[in-house]
């Protein structure tokens, strides 16, 4: 598989950072990350490298947010995506982001993800 060793370390580090999230967001984030890494397990080398670079950038941004959060009282989760980044996404990815945003912003609902990766409440 094109993503072996470094991908495992990155995957574990992302899940470690999720421990600081509120339970509902942690559950949603963990499931999303697991599904995305599963989907890209057999990706072609070029796609795997791009996938890992994007997750590495996300990881760095999460760490920055965590550091900022420690300096103030109100927690902030997620990152703003630039228009350039959004233009690089396929329609399927935009749909996934929309579903993820909708689920993450629902008030006080438990989130579950079915085997076919559709989000349900």
pLDDT tens profile 58-113: 877 777 666 666 655 555 566 677 788 778 878 888 888 788 777 777 766 555 55
**Digit-coded pLDDT (tens) for 108-119:** 655 555 444 444
Domain that holds residue 46: 1-77
As for how many domains the chain has, the answer is 1
The residue with greater pLDDT, 9 or 71, is: 9
Please report whether residue 93 resides in a domain: no
Residue 71 lies in a domain: yes
Q: What's the Cα-to-Cα distance from 6 to each of 2, 12, 48, 53, 115, rounded to whole Å?
A: 10, 10, 11, 11, 26
pTM above 0.75, yes or no: no
């Amino acid at each position: 598989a094109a993503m072996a060793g470094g991908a495992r370390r990155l995957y574990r580090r992302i899940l470690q950072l999720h421990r600081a999230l509120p339970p509902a967001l942690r559950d949603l984030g963990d499931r999303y990350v697991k599904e995305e890494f599963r989907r890209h397990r057999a990706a072609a080398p070029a796609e795997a490298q791009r996938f890992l670079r994007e997750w590495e950038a996300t990881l760095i941004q999460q760490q920055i947010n965590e550091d900022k959060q420690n300096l103030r009282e109100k927690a902030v989760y997620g990152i703003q995506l630039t228009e350039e980044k959004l233009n690089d996404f396929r329609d399927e990815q935009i749909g996934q982001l929309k579903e993820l945003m909708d689920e993450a912003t629902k008030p006080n609902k438990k989130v579950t993800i079915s085997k076919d990766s559709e989000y349900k409440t």
